[in-house]
Amino acid sequence: MNPDEKEDCECAPPQAESNPTGGYDRLQEESTFENAEASRMKRAAAKHLIERYYHQLTEGCGNESCSNDCCASCPSFHRMDNNAAAVKALELYKVNAKLCDPHPSKKGTSSAYLENSSINSTGHHNLACGNRKMNHKELHPVREDFKDVSFLTEEKVYEILESCGEKEDYSPLIRVIGRVFSSAEGLVQSFRRSKQHTKEELKSLQAKDEDKDEDEKEAATAAAGSASAMEEGGMDLEASSSSQPGDGGDGQKLGPDEVSVDIEAVRRVYWRLLCNEKVEAAFLNALVYLSPNVECDLTYHNVYSRDPNYLNLFVIVMENSNLHSPEYLEIALPQFCKAMSKLPLPAQAKLARLWARYRTDQIRRMMETFQQLITYKVISNEFNSRNLVNDDDAVVAATKCLKIVYYANVLGGDIDTEHNEEEDEEPLPESSDLTLQELLGEERRNKKGPRVDPLETELGARVSDCRRPLIPFEEFINEPLNDILEMDKDYTFFKVETENKFSFMTCPFILNAVTKNLGLYYDNRIRMYSERRITVLYSLVQGQQLNPYLRLKVRRDHIIDDALVRLEMIAMENPADLKKQLYVEFEGEQGVDEGGVSKEFFQLVVEEIFNPDIGMFTYDESTRLFWFNPSSFENEGQFTLIGIVLGLAIYNNCILDVHFPMVVYRKLMGKKGTFRDLADSHPVLSQSLKELLEYEGSVEEDMMITFQISQTDLFGNTLMYDLRENGDKIPVTNSNRKDFVNQYAEYMLNKSVEKQFKAFRRGFHMVTNESPLKYLFRPEEIELLICGSRQNLDFQALEETTEYDGGYSKDSRIIRDFWDTLHSFSEEQKRLFLQFTTGTDRAPVGGLGKLKMIIAKNGPDTDRLPTSHTCFNVLLLPEYTTKEKLRDRLLKAITYAKGFGML
């Protein structure tokens, strides 16, 4: 009798009913092999039925109008995780609950419906009989369907892939991916890095495998016997699975930027699998199920502190190169970003350090993934003052995730965390208003100093430490977000620092210079109003004279002396007054300062201080840049004054015609100058030192230089300086020339001008010490704030924003001729025009479109030249009769005008 006939005889219901006693006696006489076979068949049938219940709870029958409350396709069904579904499946098996028939759309796609459709789901005996009519492979799908796989390794994926390829059926692989990638535990255990095991460890692992097999047998036997026993066996199996972390990894000591996951293996697996559309859909669906559970674990269960390997799942998911595809943008990626944004600070720092080791293209892919989500959400929603983008969870979460990538980009770039300027030994004087503020119940904001990003502190590296990131900083700016951001509301959230309101100013990398400048403007204005209010209250309490403004009364011919004396007195008595709104008055002149007089004051002070005849700064003709004069006879107060002036210019939103090399702004941000900065400030010296480093011969014999250098002061006297003690006796050789170059740069950029720069920096910080300036802006952006931009002078944008007065309009003949003439000028002539009209040849933050220029009529046709009021950006233009005359008069005016104003 063959096995199939035996199975039919054992289970045929008519025979069992007609002669039950005889059947029982006959079964008692079966051989041991036959009894074991029957027992195995019953266990297989019970397990198969439980699996049907499980898949009904997790996948459903496919009928959208299903009325079975225990089916995932039922509209009223409440979704549950895999563990809860397993427990529920055991309960349904025990009570013989209803099983749905497979919907046509579901047949052939789920393991729940692999059995023959003729099986009657209402009786266990009928199910067993139906299964016995299937062939051997259909009867034992356990190994082929890989249902015992709770985590993945690269080898296991390839094994499943090969098995599916042979059958041309990838549903087992899809189910495994869905099961593992939707489970935080499974994903954390997957793709672990392998390590070399000792003989003792191999024996231990082998014993665990045997125990695991024994547990599986016990669980299968228990399933056939009773549901409760099977549930207990299932828990043992899960515990056994969790004790196997994949290919090792547990027990390995990990560095601060290391994880236990084999990243290269993950990349190879993704490369093999993502080319299959059905498999890709499994990753997408699994991520939708995974993310809420992960968010819950991180928010309420503090899971990362208990198991740092929890970070593995974020590493694995982020290696999916299809995350930026449209299918992910709607649900999967926003949910994942929300979960990722809940990572504690140490976990974020570890991710940043790990990703910093990635290639540039890999970091760019992650950056573009989050940027694409932000842009998609911004464009697809209508954000306004009532519907703030700050309240959109997806945009906020993606921005927080983008911050991790941003710092990875910084850490992976050219970074210098060593050469930092020393803090001022003397703290800045406190305001005398402090006691009054405390009496009024109002403490000074940011009393502890400027804000610092907590992730920056955790990493121990600042953005200003990075000279060149892997990806340009500009690529992290999201312009659509900047266009719809309500900066007044965002600034409020930034200052209040509430947990339920997010401010994009806490992620300044995503904002452009115009948006950040607007935030700084609000901060400055509110600080001005605060100082004004405090002054009024102070005058009421103590009866002092009301002085709500920073008033400067100066004489034109003594502007430096008057300004210096007044500002020094204010800095000594009450430095908080420097944060009041500036109000300048020229002695003997009438006029109300509505911004124009202050701008004129700044221009005159800058022109005077940077005059080479005074000797405070040296001027390089080749670079057109100024540098501190190390042998200047001016006292420190003069340098403090120019620092205050620069700070006041930012504070009062004025552009100065100041030309410093970038190293000055880096030093203001706390970084020392190094050899790499010499190229801007001292290009000739930089080239000479570079040739010294590259020289292939004997430096000592051919150049005969020592560690003693010479400098020439203002009077032509030669001054000697030893870079090392007894430097004149230490020759520069091939082995120590790098140290010579570094010491030379250290002297030129730091030591030789230490006294002058400290005074300059002190003055600058008197005005900006409580400002978010250093938090929001990089050194190159601070230069843009103070001096404006020399790049991309868009005169078309200037034409569109220019206003007209005195009878002119944009359609006037003279105005059309004027713009035609200006657009035909060379780049240098256009800069001369800007200098003539506004007092500087640079554009403000945001470009020339932000410059409010006015062209006013200045009488009929005449031979007089055009004139300007640079303090108000006003061009006075006579109504010339011909275009040629206009061009001739305008060119003469801008070419021969020298100094401030030409009236």
Q: Which residues are catalytically annotated?
A: 871
CA distances from 259 to 81, 189, 262, 847, 865 (A): 27, 12, 8, 45, 72
How far is it, in rounded angstroms, from Cα 564 to Cα 572? 12
CB atoms within 10 A of CB 742: 15
Output the CA angle 357-362-365, nearest 5 degrees.
Answer: 140
d(CA 358, CA 354): 7
- Work out the number of other CB atoms within 10 angstroms of the CB of residue 481: 22
The contacts of residue 541 (CB under 8 Å, 6+ apart) are 436, 439
3-class DSSP state of 270: helix
State both tokens at 547: 């002085």
Tokens of 614: 């005074």
- Structure token digits, residue 825: 């000028």
Question: What six digits make up the tokens of 579?
Answer: 């944060």
**For strand 550-554 and strand 718-722, is the pairing parallel, antiparallel, or unpaired?**
unpaired
Q: What is the CA radius of gyration of the chain?
A: 38
* Residues near 505 by beta carbon (within 8 Å), at least 6 away in sequence: 490, 491, 493, 494, 511, 516, 519, 772, 776
* Side-chain-side CA neighbours of residue 198 (13 Å): 2
Q: 119: helix, coil or strand?
A: coil
User: Which one, of 564, 595, 589, 608, lies nearest residue 899 by Cα?
Assistant: 608
Q: What is the DSSP string of 669-696?
A: TTB---GGGHHHH-HHHHHHHHHHHH--
- The Cα–Cα gap between 53 and 101 comes to 12
Rounded (10°) CA dihedral 223, 224, 229, 231: 20
d(CA 404, CA 337): 12
- The string over 357-367, giving b where at least 16 C-beta atoms fall within 10 Å of a residue's C-beta and e elsewhere, is ebeeebbbbbb
Pairing outcome for strands 718-722 and 625-628: unpaired
612-628 burial by CB neighbour count: b if 16+ within 10 A, else e?
A: eeeebbbebeebebbbb
